[in-house]
Amino acid sequence: MSHPTRKLDITHGRIDMTHGSGGRAMAQLVDELFAPAFRNDYLAQGNDQAILPPPGGRLAIATDSHVISPLFFPGGDIGSLSVHGTVNDLAMGGATPLYLSAGFILEEGLPLADLKRIVDSMAAAARDAGVRIVTGDTKVVERGHGDGVYISTTGIGVVADGVQLCGSQAQPGDAILVSGTLGEHGMAVMSQRENLGFASPIVSDSAALHTLAAALMAASPGLRLMRDPTRGGLATTLNEIARQSGVGMQLQEDAIPLQPAVRAACEFLGLDPLYVANEGKLIAVCPAAEADAALAALRAHPLGRHAANIGQVVADPHHFVRVRTPFGGERLLDWLAGEMLPRIC
């Protein structure tokens, strides 16, 4: 392909409308910035589509759009997040993630240095997770019509025979496990918001969960389901499962793992950490008889060291998720209503 003779000025350059016009500038952006980072045989074919070999099992497909602000946060950035989000959606169904597609909506004015940092981080996250980014698309919108960059990824994975996980399979008596401390992603992002900025040691937990999920599946053959508690946090995810399975849940509040810094930050912002987003945690429901083995498997994995058994599935026609407080009282853990807003006094 013929390009302008001068190379992209990654250090000082910015995205402009020509990068989305379909002309030479766009081809140069793809060739000099995206292709080297994501390099693989399918992408190298340079076609409008990637043609992939038969995967040898049932296909899983998941899609996720990422619109996070700020683009960079402690523990990650929109690039790594866009890989982890989709990989985890596949992994929660028991799939081994294989391929990703990536759509970029870039805002005019975005520094190329930022874009390169994001793309490199995305490539590293994909490499670490063992998935390949095999096809993509780039569009540019006028300044003021985007938030720097939006990334949409779609993932394809393969599910082994016999694996049958589903949100409708929780049964009364089952154990509810979480793979670690909650709320770190949401609070790490919130600590960086310009009107809020507070100093904290909280780092996003953003991570690919498929190897943790595989270890769990191996330890608990009767595993009912896995979910990653992203937006809306533990509370929302458990309510989704309760509704889907037609059951209730009974949790023990002091069993739910939380980092002291997350508790403290939530305390002064008037937020409940059980509603705060995670990007590297999973919730599992398994038969009570397999709970100890499942927990041991989670704890043996670096991403599951603080895993805990937090309660059990119960029969309840109202599908309530109830929490027993350390006080001996009981309360409801309800769906998140509206956007999570801090209380004022």
Partner 1 sequence: MKYVDEFRRGDVARGLAARIAEAVQPGRHYRLMEFCGGHTHAIARYGLTGLLPAAVQLIHGPGCPVCVLPIGRIDSAIELALQHGAIVCSYGDCLRVPASNKLSLYKARALGGDVRMVYSTADALQIARDNPARQVVFFAIGFETTTPPTALALKAARAEGLRNFSVFCNHVLTPPAMQHLLAAGDAVQLDGFIGPSHVSTVIGSAPYQAVADAYAKPVVIAGFEPLDVLQSVLMLVERINRGEAGVATQFTRAVTTDGNATARAVVAETLVLRPTFEWRGLGQVPQSALAIHPDYADFDAELRFGLPYRHVPDHRACECAAILRGQKQPQDCKVFGIVCTPDNPLGSCMVSSEGACAAHYHYGRFTAPQEQPA
Could you list the residues that contact partner 1 (CB under 8 A)?
195-196, 243, 260, 263-264, 267, 317-320, 322, 325-332, 334, 337-338, 341-345
Is the Cβ of residue 9 or residue 330 nearer to partner 1 in the bound state? 330
Is the Cβ of residue 12 or residue 327 nearer to partner 1 in the bound state? 327
Q: How far is the CB of 269 from partner 1 (least distance, A)?
A: 8
Is the Cβ of residue 36 or residue 246 nearer to partner 1 in the bound state? 246
Q: Rounded CA gap, 79 and 72, in Å?
A: 9
The H or E element that residue 250 is part of is: strand 248-252
Q: Please tell me what DSSP assigns to residue 111.
A: B
* Closest to 58 (Cα-Cα) out of 164, 201, 142, 138: 164
Q: Phi and psi (nearest 5°) for 218? A: -70, -35
The H or E element that residue 269 is part of is: helix 260-269
Q: How far is the CB of 173 from partner 1 (least distance, A)?
A: 19
158: helix, strand or coil: strand
Q: How far is the CB of 336 from partner 1 (least distance, A)?
A: 9
Taking the CA atoms of 147, 149, 154 and 157 in sequence, report the sign of the dihedral they define.
negative
Is the Cβ of residue 145 or residue 263 nearer to partner 1 in the bound state? 263
Q: Rounded CA gap, 51 and 68, in Å?
A: 31
Q: Rounded CA gap, 199 and 320, in Å?
A: 37
Is the Cβ of residue 33 or residue 261 nearer to partner 1 in the bound state? 261
Is the Cβ of residue 113 or residue 255 nearer to partner 1 in the bound state? 255
Q: How far is the CB of 306 from partner 1 (least distance, A)?
A: 17
HSE of 194 in the Cβ direction (CA atoms, 13 Å)? 3
Q: How far is the CB of 270 from partner 1 (least distance, A)?
A: 8
Q: How far is the CB of 112 from partner 1 (least distance, A)?
A: 27
| Neighbouring C-beta atoms of residue 120, cutoff 10 Å | 17
Residue with tokens 């998941």: 62
